[in-house]
Amino acid sequence: MLLKIKPIAWAYSMITLGTEMLNSVFSFYYVKLFLHLYKISEVAFYQAQMILMIWNALNDLTGYFHVSQADCCSGHHSSVLYGAPLYSIAFLLPWFPWKYYHRGDWLSGLHLVVSLCAFDSALTCIQQAQCTLFAEIFTRHESPLRLLKINQVASLVGSTSILFSGLISDNMEILFNFQAFAVLIAILAMASLYTGTCHMSHLGPKRSPEENVFPESEQDLPWTSIVSLMRQLLTQKNFCLFLIMSFFQVFHLTFFNNFMMIFADNLIPKDVLPSFLRSIMYGAAFTCPQCLVLFSQSWLKKFGYYKIILISFYLKGTASIVMLLLGQQYYYFLALYLTVIMVIAQASSCLFNLPLADVVDADLLKFNRQSPLSSMVFGINALFTKPAQSLAPMIILSKLKQYGYGNPDKSTILDLHDAMFNLICLVPLAIAVIQILVWSPFSRRSKTDYTGTL
């Protein structure tokens, strides 16, 4: 039962609550905001995504690796405490225009660059600390499945921000209502992050000086040593397979997060699916994954994360084929498909910390390290997968522009709708095939039933 879970897990989940509350809203709405309301030019949008890709790489290199050998709980707590207000402020940046933007206004492009880079910096600061804390709790023989369970409860509550933002703002049609709601959840998220971090700093296990202090050579590693450690990590087959699989998962999630509203607005008539039901659909796409993970705990214990993740790829591919055969004229099936495909992808992604934690353990045993390279493992994962967050919107928008997206000329509308429908079916199908081929050789952990209590 959730009431039997240790307070440190509840504290950890408060960090998840604050992070999920803002991250889901930001990724879901910002593309439509800048394309439809701010009318950003195509070139400026691409430039912003390219700058974000470079910024992500620099952010991950400096944010994750500089503490790769000296992971310290107090340091991670400080990262969240200082990052919380910056994270909330960065979240609010895109929703308030700097002036009235005309079509193709250069200032809207600058606005997007600042918003993306600021939000990514703050999010990286918090996620780096949170991911490392997850691995540290894991290595202290706590049950990762129980931690995952309470974490999903927090994610479930946080992801309802999509539902309520849609209902309150009529899916961002009423910008003032959306802005007011954004300010509210920014305050709530900051309070949640502070609460979780303060409790973790008091509840977390205390290390002796011998455990806290590493040799000087490990405290301040030169870049040559970091590169050497990266090479050692990348020699592990499981880690490389996971990185490839995770890259395409991030691409898939970003694709649907950024464009789900745009596709639904164009492919499903509003008299068939009114605004209220669309808000429910969008909310379900973000809340149902957490429910699915919570209710699948017994499956995780029985089959392990490897099989569950693999099954999700088969389900994703099957759903894509069925929708492709049905066609876009079945509007209710299309709405169901958009929701299901998001649920499957989001739910399987919730399990990705488990194989990463296994990679940390395997590396610790293989090279007889004095401390786990948890920050570096999560940092390399971010370094390799985050480019997908920029590539996905660039590639999809480029494809849509070829069929007249953003052009008021109605002569191309049918071609545009066909292109959109093909994208939402063929992209998940292609990704599912690649992920099945990549994930199948993964050497799954022999122990699937974790013990211990949180």
- Who has greater pLDDT, 410 or 415? 415
pLDDT, residue 449, reads: 39
pLDDT, residue 219, reads: 46
Q: Please, how many CA atoms are within 13 Å of residue 41, restricted to the half-sphere of its CB?
A: 11
Please report the sign of the dihedral spanned by the C-alpha atoms of residue 280, residue 285, residue 287, residue 288.
positive
pLDDT, residue 65, reads: 55
Report residue 452's pLDDT band, with 50, 70 and 90 as the boundaries. Answer: very low
Percent of all residues in the chain with a pLDDT value above 90, rounded to a whole number: 51
Question: What confidence tens digit (pLDDT) does each residue in 173-216 have?
Answer: 999 999 999 999 999 999 988 887 777 665 555 544 444 433 33
pLDDT, residue 293, reads: 84
Total residue length of the chain: 454
- Who has greater pLDDT, 382 or 435? 435
CATH 1.20.1250 boundaries in the chain = 7-204, 229-443
Q: Give the least confident one: 25-39, 95-109, 214-228, 347-361.
A: 214-228
pLDDT, residue 345, reads: 94
Q: Please, how many CA atoms are within 13 Å of residue 49, restricted to the half-sphere of its CB?
A: 25
Contact 398, 387 (CB under 8 A): no
In this prediction, residues 351-368 reach a mean pLDDT of 83
In this prediction, residues 14-32 reach a mean pLDDT of 92
C-alpha–C-alpha distance, residues 338 and 358, integer Å: 32
SS3 208: coil
Contact 31, 259 (CB under 8 A): yes
Report residue 231's pLDDT band, with 50, 70 and 90 as the boundaries. Answer: confident
- Who has greater pLDDT, 140 or 335? 335
Query: Longest Cα pair distance anywhere in the chain, in angstroms?
Result: 72
- In the numeric block, which tokens belong to residue 271? 């008299």
pLDDT, residue 278, reads: 94
pLDDT, residue 78, reads: 61
Percent of all residues in the chain with a pLDDT value above 70, rounded to a whole number: 81
In this prediction, residues 419-435 reach a mean pLDDT of 96
Indicate whether 324 pLDDT > 90. yes
Class of domain 7-204: mainly alpha
Question: What confidence tens digit (pLDDT) does each residue in 76-122 have?
Answer: 556 666 678 889 999 999 999 999 999 889 999 999 999 999 998 88
Give pTM, 2 decimals: 0.87
Phi/psi for 266 (5° steps) reads: -90, -35
Tell me which residue of 222, 200, 225 sits closest to 369, measured CA to CA.
Answer: 225
Class of domain 229-443: mainly alpha
Question: What confidence tens digit (pLDDT) does each residue in 365-401 have?
Answer: 878 777 777 778 888 888 899 999 999 999 999 999 9
Average of per-residue pLDDT values in the chain: 83
C-alpha–C-alpha distance, residues 316 and 289, integer Å: 14
